[in-house]
Amino acid sequence: MIEINWQNLKLSLHHSGAIFIEKHSLLLISDVHLGKVTHFRKHGAAVPQNAVFQNFKNMDEVIETFNPFQICFMGDLFHSDKNREFDLFSNWIAGVPSQFYLVRGNHDSISDEIYQKLGIETQLDFELENDLFLFHHPQEQNINHICGHVHPAALMKGKGGQKLRLPCFCVSQHQIIMPAFGTFTGKFTISVEDFEHIYLIAGESVVPV
């Protein structure tokens, strides 16, 4: 974990890919893509069953770390329609005392009414503070916002020709792009030069580049 100051806020960038905003006791989690493992297994993909439970374990761990009053899923909470992972999620969220929000993403096809029954408030975007927003998709660079969607990763190259893609937080003056939280998601290789700061996730460490 590493702490940064951004837009007059103290942010904790966690190795899970989550962000904790101390002032608002708000935990941001982006692109979990629950249900994706079950969806792929149903169609014959050889995905380990324990991958289903890893996402819940990771959420438990980051919530225990910060004990947030509020939790906002930054879009693509579920990969597609309801499947048995939704039942697991329903049971899981009932045991978490935080207030929940969902910024709707392009994969979020489950209705607002269903989420509301679970106590989750849904919107296309949230204004966290005056002129500071939470979106799923990246916006124009002059809009102060935090977002997800991209699943950013940086390609690291060693002197011996080794290559390693690591998920990362992309931080600029007006924008932060969060890495995907989910354990079964793809990665999009970004150009490091496009951002003022890159923070790599390397195991249980967050490393500035």
pLDDT tens digit sequence for 6-27: 999 999 999 999 999 999 999 9
The pair of structure tokens assigned to 165 is 């893609």
Nearest to 120 by CA among 145, 148, 151, 92: 92
Q: Tell me what pLDDT residue 180 has.
A: 92
CA distance 179 to 199: 10
Q: Would you list the DSSP string of 128-196?
A: EETTEEE-SS---TTS-EEE-SS-EEEEEE-TTS-EEEEEEEEE-SSEEEPPP--SS---EE--GGGSS
Mean pLDDT of the residues in the chain: 85
**Is the pTM value of this prediction over 0.85?**
yes
The pair of structure tokens assigned to 79 is 């990969």
Q: Where are the domains of the chain?
A: 2-208
Q: Tell me what pLDDT residue 159 has.
A: 67
CATH of 2-208, one of 3.30.70, 1.10.10, 3.60.21, 3.40.50: 3.60.21
pLDDT digits (tens, 9 = 90+) for 163-178: 788 899 999 999 999 9
- Helix then strand then coil, % of the chain, to nearest 5: 20, 35, 45
**List of E strands, 41-97:** 70-73
28 and 134 Cβ atoms separated by less than 8 Å:
yes
